[in-house]
Structure 1
Amino acid sequence: MDLKELKGVHHVSAITGDAKKNYEFYTNILGMRLVKKTVNQDDTSVYHLFYADERGNPGTDLTFFEIPNAGSTHYGTNSISTTSLRVATDASLGYWENRFNEYDVEHDGITQESGRAVLPFRDFEGQRLVLVSDEKNKGVPAGKPWEKSPVPAEHGIRGLGPVTLTVSRPELTASVLTDLLSFKETGTFTSAKGSSTIRVFETGEGGTGGEVFLEENNDLPRERPGRGSVHHVAFRVENEEELRKWVQLFNDNNLPNSGFVERYYFRSLYFREANGILFELATDGPGFEGDEPFETLGESLALPPYLENQRESIEARLKPLDTKQ
């Protein structure tokens, strides 16, 4: 089957227990734009918040499901253990270190990882994040920070960088990445703490926006997810026609999968890789401006057309969240 190469990371979806504090942290402190305030389409009683560049370009979205009764995460193996966010230059990390100190954001200080300057940090729920410099990037282009962000544009977050998968049986995940998804294994590096060797896998134009890091860890039990954990990672597919080819490939090979899923803002296919991590393939479009104008993205509760007739009951179950800029 003639399948085009995946174009890079599409989005990462994580879990929060508090939508209001989450919104304040990712917009007021990290300076990302809330481009869509909607609901989890599989459980419409909870918010699904999308933070991104100025218009939610594919490869820039960090999203959160609000699960108010979620417990704390018990960190472990077989998990998406780190999400990275791209900034323009090494100098930008100095700006961010000062900003994190000003806002009492827990961080580890600037270091080097995979030949790039990075700044690991955690949000208020312990979500594991890393700012990564694009100064040497020659791969997948970055997004464009929102001009109304409280963070100066030259230092603004420009999209998603590599995600780190920590697994107990790395060869199984590596096989899924290379044999099924056609990633290329391009090298290794030693983790910033010097405790493990990380394998690098690349797709599309590669670089910061087209990489997955794979780490082996057999010393910890399986992660017990909660607030502060990542739910899934999605990779970019060019369009719906291409996604349907992926669905056919999975079905032809009897690989368990969700089948074609309509998400309105994009179309998806979900499956679990061999260590139990949830992967998604998602189309680059249609995007977030089909139901809201660019100027007011994220300010109102947006529902896809197939949920619109339930708006009254959906809104009645949600705690109001003021996101007007």
Structure 2
Amino acid sequence: MQINGIHHVTAIAGPARRNLDFYGRVLGLRLVKKTVNFDDPGTYHLYYGDAAGAPGTILTFFPWEHAAAGRLGVGETQETAFRVPEGAIGYWTHRLVEHGVVHEQPQKRFGETVLAFRDPDGMRLSIVGVPGIESEPAWGEGGIPADYAIRGFHSVSLLLDDAAPTGAILSDVFGFKEIAREGTLIRYQAEGTPLGNIIDLRGAGGFLPARQGAGSVHHIAFRATDDAAQQEMVRRLAENHGIRTTEQKDRNYFRSVYFREPGRVLFEIATDVPGFAVDEAPETLGQALKLPAQYESQRSRIEAVLPELA
């Protein structure tokens, strides 16, 4: 059975140590994989998520020490939102104040309480209070009490010149359905999982185009159960929307294809398999530097140029 929704979100950051401190200590996420950028092995690729590194919980970063700041604009992810129990918003408001995190006052969006804030690079994030998720598993070793801890992605919002063509792909290819509208936001939701099952589209015709940099989301990955499910999505994209993807790329923990959707946001289709425990025991995820096979012979040189994380 195909489970639809977000597989992971990948963003660009500044210094790696600062990134790890914020997402690991302030937000209490688990570092589930420490590897390198496949195209730039002198740079980390850091993966954060829940205890198991489940699809729908994974936020990843390419941290470049001296990356210039990005600029929000059309053709980009506007906000990445996490889920917490409804009663945890007060805790998180206090925690953001305590750690000096730039944030807004809680507000209502589609009937849910949303606490918007930014990471040290200016990436737009939010925490959404969701009723009835108190009993869901949470990573209990990140310094956040389990009653308040993050439980995967709630949603991402995209800033687009025209929302309709992107909405058509969400519906036809990725199994989302439009469920509500509020102001300029159109909400799409996928069934089958509570994690990362919401995409909000905001039409902003005539707004400046995005400029990628630190604080920008590089791409959003959608789930495909396996290779066959991925190929079916590739077929629908080509036959129904005239969009071709890249060839499949093996990312060790999932297999991926990429394409630009009509609004110019970079989308990925990533398989759920084989998962993050393929080269590490579940209890030690994220502790060792894992390199793609083609770089293993260069380990000493790569380790020498990567910045210290602790």
Tell me which of 139, 158, 165 is aligned to 1:165.
158
Return closer, same or farther for 1:211/1:164 CA change in 2, 3 Å cut-off: same
Q: Name the CA shift for 1:68/1:271 in 2 (closer, same or farther; >3 Å).
A: same
1:235 to 215, 218, 222: 222
Q: State yes or no: 1:176 paired with 2:178.
A: no
Q: Which residue is equivalent to 1:272?
A: 260
- How far apart, CA to CA, are the structure 1 residues paired with 2:174 and 2:5? 11
TM-score when scaled to structure 1? 0.89
For residue 214 of structure 1, the aligned residue among 194, 201, 204 is 201
* Corresponding residue of 1:297: 285
Superposed, 1:300-311 pairs within 5 Å as: 300-311=288-299
Distance 1:8 1:180, change over 3 A: closer
Q: 1:205 to 1:6 in 2, by over 3 A?
A: closer
Q: How far 1:300 moved relative to its partner?
A: 1.7
Between stretches 216-225 and 308-317, larger displacement belongs to 308-317
Correspondence 1:224 to 2:211: yes
Alpha carbons 2:234, 2:244 under 8 Å: kept:
no
Deviation at 1:124, TM superposition (A): 1.1
Match status 1:145 vs 2:135: no
Q: CA deviation at 1:216?
A: 0.7
| Structure 1 residues 179 and 146, CA gap change in structure 2 (3 angstroms) | closer
Partners of 2:177 and 2:69 lie apart in 1 by 35
Residue number among 124, 148, 173 corresponding to 2:120 in the alignment: 124
**One-letter amino acid of the counterpart of residue 40, structure 1:** N
User: CA offsets, 1:297-316, max 9 Å, x none?
Assistant: 11221123343233233223
- Tell me the residue number matched to 2:58: 61
Q: Deviations over 1:171-230 (max 9, x none)?
A: 22222222343421112123xxxxxx2001122336563111000112421011111110
From 21, 28, 33, the equivalent of 2:18 is 21
Runs of 4+ in 1 over 6 A off after TM superposition: none
| Structure 2: runs of 5+ lacking an equivalent | none
Aligned residue in 1 for 2:188 = 201
Q: State the Cα distance separating 1:142 from its structure 2 match.
A: 9.5
Question: 1: distance between equivalents of 2:82 and 2:106?
Answer: 14
Shift of 1:241: 2.7
Q: Which residue of 1 aligns with 2:48?
A: 51
C-alpha displacement at 1:249, in angstroms?
A: 4.4
The root-mean-square deviation of aligned C-alpha atoms, in Å, is 2.1
- TM-score, normalised relative to structure 2: 0.93
Q: What code does the residue aligned with 1:134 have?
A: V
Matched with 2:250 is: 262
User: Quick one: distance in 1 between partners of 2:265 and 2:272?
Assistant: 22
Match of residue 97, structure 1, among 84, 88, 93: 93
Matched with 1:194 is: none
Indicate how the Cα distance of structure 1 residues 257 and 75 shifts in structure 2: closer, same or farther if over 3 A, else same: same
Displacement of 1:82 in angstroms is 0.3
**Secondary structure of the corresponding residue to residue 289 of structure 1:** helix
Long gaps (5+) in structure 1: 191-196
